[in-house]
Structure 1
Amino acid sequence: MFLKSSLTTSFLFLSSQVFQSADSRKPEHIFLGISAAKIACFDIRTTGSEYNHLPRDPEFEYLRTINFYQGQKLMIALSDHSAWATPECIVSPRSAAEVSSVLQAITAADAPFAVRSGGHSPNPGWSNIEGGVLVELSRINEITYDPVSTNVVVGTGNRWGAVYAALEAYGRTAVGARLSPVGVGGFLLGGGLSHVSNEYGFGCDNVVEYEVVLANGTIVNASTNSHSELYWALKGGTNNFGIITRFTLKTIPMSKIWGGVITYKATQAPAVMDAIHSYHAGHISDLKSAISVQFILGAGVVLVTLMYAENISSSPVAFAPFDALPHVASTMGSKSFTEFHDEWLVGGNANRYGFRESRGGTWIRACTKTSSQSPQTPPKK
């Protein structure tokens, strides 16, 4: 993303704090032999913060390595290197005012820090930090729906499963992540690809207003009418411009959907690729439809996730290329938006043992040539 020059100069200070080396020290820190992060943690602790966790505290190890989901402790480890990092302290503020106080202490000490909403990002330093201050936002979890505007105010510490469940009672939903445990903050600040993006755009396209804590502790609301350049920058600008504590989002009408996961044998990978090509060639213009494919060849399977954003009683024409293939298993059917996004949390799909995992993807051109070069079953060892 190319930023306007005024934004580059106005908000560079916070960016330098986020990506600062953990070895950074002020002269007085070097003289005293105390790290900047340790000083910041002490200052935050002495302000009476109830949720400032040091390594000796019972909750520290859990918060360092494990995600939250709807108030329950699930054995879902943070991604990749994030789970290995050990911060100097973990701070869990409950409001924008507390975030402001924490950020002022961090800035005053010139301490390195990381900010975590859900911890889904595998990028080192994004959701945890070695020897710095981890600002962990799970306690900022407001969800307030306004039936007049049909907008919803969502705290950045929420996960999308909680948002979907709260909005379901109103026959609405939000343009959110494709898996329930993904955090709200990182998803929206990174752009946000949703199962309903074909029809409603990225998650960030549906943000009406951001509540932002700037580097100096100032709390502002950014929208098209106020701090409009900051509002523009936050749509895909990640955490370079402030700590977001609250999002006001558009909601969309949603009752039940048709969807699920179809499991194919790995030996069917070429046929699945042909089905993907047929979908792109003849059905992708159906904006209600969405597909996601995982070739897990080492496990001997190909998983195809399909969702049709309409309350129907049978599979739509758009999914005919996949329905035509013989399959090992299928969860396709009519279900709520919440049920659909929770499917990966049950049975063998959930990572319930705390194993670390890494996933990646790529964009490829949908053509018959691609299909002919599709993944093949890996050779047996």
Structure 2
Amino acid sequence: MLVLAVATSFLLGSAYGRPSNRGLLPYLDVCHQIAGAISDASDVYFPGQLLYLKGVDHWMSSSDQNSACVVEPGIAEDVGVILGIVGSTQTPFAVRGGGHTGNAGYSSTEGVHISMFRFSEVTYDENAQTATIGTGLVWDDVYTALAPHNVNVVGGRVTGVGVAGFTLGGGFSWLTNQHGLTIDTLTSFELVKPDGEVATVTQSSDSDLFWAMKGGLNNYGIVTSFMLKTFPQGQVWGGLITYTANVLDDVANATAKFSAEVTDPKAAIITSANFLLAEPGVSQLLFYDGPTPPDGIFDDFLAIPHFTKDVSTRSFVSLVQAAPSNATAGQRGAFNTAPVQTLSAGVVKAMFNESLFWGSRLQFDTGSFISYDIEPFLPSHLSHNNSPSAWPPTRDVAYLPECLYFAWISPLHDDTFHDAMTQSVEQIQRVAIAEGQQGIDTAPPYTNYALFDVPVELIYGDSLPLMRSVKARVDPDNVMGLAGGIKI
């Protein structure tokens, strides 16, 4: 009776203090149809049940929606059953992996919410030097599972990031300078096609589909696992340093110098120019793929007076977890990206200036955290691909995926923050163009950072015709169009 009472309250729009939804009742029939068709390996949860709340939860509350039910499939065949039912009934649905997306509706829905938690395997094949990884995992789990084997994969750089969306969108990693994007290390997908077929997709089995899925997100079906190449992994060096407002110029100069001069592919940084609690500051992540970095690479950062410092020789997963991600968890938020060719001193300082400009203004619109992640990579970072990929549409120029992350409290200010992010990207790119950087205004944005209104033509460029041709073959009824995300 308690579950029924809470469910009724939910349908009337009052449960848990979340925004009310309309029109959920027809979707409940679909939920019950799914419950009667799936095997015992899977379950359906309804409002008022604890596992329902787990299923719909996201890192950013602005990405949450109340769905009619949560389905947790346990086997790929049940995923096929679910796709058949939502496709035949034209029911909107969502697929949630790690729940780290910044765009509302990308992995949430008012209809059937599919949460992939049960696809949580990590299987290492020593002979093939590959790992099969389930799409319900976050990268922390993957690194922990592979550590006893002294191997690693090309995955996320900070804690709590999901395997599925990250990989399908491309995947920039601490190991990208050495091995490329995550999609460059893929050897196969287990894909549940919209018609319910469970297929292993490889370069040899279906080269066009394999190509299209590398960067093509959720347009071709639901992926239940990836097979990735593994690489030897020992201890690494690095961690988090935080700096206060009085040394911002020193950190900006050190970042620009690192980007221009450091060519060691084992070295990487993320410099985050932040505005938090009405004060500017920097969160500085340092990484070296080895227990001790060569002299000189990070000296400029280490010489700057710091507020906190957690830098040491450590395990890979310890480094990934060095920067806590829960400071703004549960708040509203969004990502955006400003691709540039080089991180000159002018571009770096422009990003620092933007954090001050927007941070000081948006704090009055419930802005809680304004952050600009400055991410240098070597010009050769896109040269490691073992086969072509749909994204990026060109590898002739290795654009750098600079990231904006804004967090705020009130949904009344959603448009204010989205507009600010768009204006800020335009300003950063104006600075780059004024310095002579070519093609910035038509550079393909990194899919996993792109704001929801970035044109799909800009993201995929010349890849779109073939992507659409593959889509028409694999999903002729556009079943995946019933789910959110970047649609081709």
Query: Does TM, normalized by the shorter one, top 0.5?
Result: yes
Structure 2 equivalent of residue 59 of structure 1: 51
Q: Which runs of 5+ in 2 are unaligned?
A: 1-20, 365-488
Q: Provide the C-alpha distance between the structure 1 equivalents of 2:203 and 2:329, rounded to a whole number of angstroms.
A: 44
Q: Provide the C-alpha distance between the structure 2 equivalents of 1:120 and 1:331, rounded to a whole number of angstroms.
A: 25
Q: Deviations over 1:61-93 (max 9, x none)?
A: 23222xxxxxxxxxxx4324222x111111010
Q: Provide the C-alpha distance between the structure 2 equivalents of 1:145 and 1:63, rounded to a whole number of angstroms.
A: 28
Q: Secondary structure at the match of 1:119?
A: coil
Structure 2 equivalent of residue 254 of structure 1: 233
Residue identity opposite 1:132 in structure 2? G
Give 1:23 shift.
9.4
Structure 1 equivalent of residue 143 of structure 2: 164
Give 1:319 shift.
1.3
Structure 1 equivalent of residue 269 of structure 2: 291
Alpha-carbon spacing, 1:316–1:127, altered in 2? closer, same or farther (3 Å): farther
Structure 2 equivalent of residue 45 of structure 1: 35
Give 1:370 shift.
3.3
Give 1:266 shift.
2.2
Q: Secondary structure at the match of 2:81?
A: helix
Residue identity opposite 1:59 in structure 2? L
Q: Provide the C-alpha distance between the structure 1 equivalents of 2:54 and 2:348, rounded to a whole number of angstroms.
A: 44
2:347 to 351, 370, 376: 370
Structure 1 equivalent of residue 85 of structure 2: 105
Give 1:374 shift.
5.6
Alpha-carbon spacing, 1:352–1:213, altered in 2? closer, same or farther (3 Å): same
Q: Which runs of 5+ in 1 are unaligned?
A: 1-21, 25-32, 66-76
Alpha-carbon spacing, 1:159–1:374, altered in 2? closer, same or farther (3 Å): closer
Alpha-carbon spacing, 1:146–1:310, altered in 2? closer, same or farther (3 Å): same
Q: Provide the C-alpha distance between the structure 1 equivalents of 2:51 and 2:183, rounded to a whole number of angstroms.
A: 33
The answer to whether the 8 Å contact 2:59/2:329 transfers is no
Structure 2 equivalent of residue 325 of structure 1: 304
Q: Sequence identity of aligned pairs in percent? A: 30
* 1:305 and 2:297 correspond: no
Q: Deviations over 1:107-132 (max 9, x none)?
A: 12111111111111112221111x21
Q: Provide the C-alpha distance between the structure 1 equivalents of 2:140 and 2:66, rounded to a whole number of angstroms.
A: 28
Q: Provide the C-alpha distance between the structure 2 equivalents of 1:239 and 1:92, rounded to a whole number of angstroms.
A: 18
Alpha-carbon spacing, 1:286–1:188, altered in 2? closer, same or farther (3 Å): same
Q: Provide the C-alpha distance between the structure 2 equivalents of 1:23 and 1:353, rounded to a whole number of angstroms.
A: 27
Q: Deviations over 1:308-353 (max 9, x none)?
A: 01122x66422122122221121111000011112234xxx53487
Deviates more, 1:369-378 or 1:136-145: 369-378
Give 1:34 shift.
6.0
Give 1:356 shift.
4.2
Alignment of 1:131-170 (within 5 A): 131-170=110-149
The answer to whether the 8 Å contact 2:62/2:332 transfers is no
Q: Secondary structure at the match of 1:296?
A: strand
2:63 to 82, 85, 89: 82
Give 1:255 shift.
0.7
TM-score, normalising length: structure 2: 0.64
Residue identity opposite 2:36 in structure 1? T
Deviates more, 1:355-364 or 1:244-253: 355-364
The answer to whether the 8 Å contact 1:156/1:185 transfers is yes
Residue identity opposite 2:91 in structure 1? A
Q: Provide the C-alpha distance between the structure 2 equivalents of 1:158 and 1:134, rounded to a whole number of angstroms.
A: 17
The answer to whether the 8 Å contact 1:270/1:374 transfers is no
Structure 1 equivalent of residue 424 of structure 2: none
Residue identity opposite 2:267 in structure 1? S
TM-score, normalising length: structure 1: 0.81
Give 1:180 shift.
2.9
Structure 2 equivalent of residue 350 of structure 1: 326
Residue identity opposite 2:338 in structure 1? T
2:320 to 311, 332, 341: 341
Alpha-carbon spacing, 1:359–1:125, altered in 2? closer, same or farther (3 Å): closer
Alignment of 1:83-232 (within 5 A): 83=64, 85-129=65-109, 131-232=110-211
The answer to whether the 8 Å contact 1:266/1:297 transfers is no
Alpha-carbon spacing, 1:235–1:372, altered in 2? closer, same or farther (3 Å): closer
Alpha-carbon spacing, 1:48–1:150, altered in 2? closer, same or farther (3 Å): closer
Q: Secondary structure at the match of 1:189?
A: helix
Q: Secondary structure at the match of 1:118?
A: coil
Q: Provide the C-alpha distance between the structure 1 equivalents of 2:347 and 2:328, rounded to a whole number of angstroms.
A: 35
Q: Provide the C-alpha distance between the structure 2 equivalents of 1:277 and 1:34, rounded to a whole number of angstroms.
A: 55
The answer to whether the 8 Å contact 2:70/2:115 transfers is yes
The answer to whether the 8 Å contact 2:116/2:135 transfers is yes
CA RMSD in angstroms, aligned pairs only: 2.4
The answer to whether the 8 Å contact 1:117/1:183 transfers is yes
Alpha-carbon spacing, 1:181–1:304, altered in 2? closer, same or farther (3 Å): same
Alpha-carbon spacing, 1:362–1:269, altered in 2? closer, same or farther (3 Å): farther
The answer to whether the 8 Å contact 1:269/1:374 transfers is no
Alpha-carbon spacing, 1:363–1:43, altered in 2? closer, same or farther (3 Å): same
The answer to whether the 8 Å contact 1:190/1:236 transfers is yes
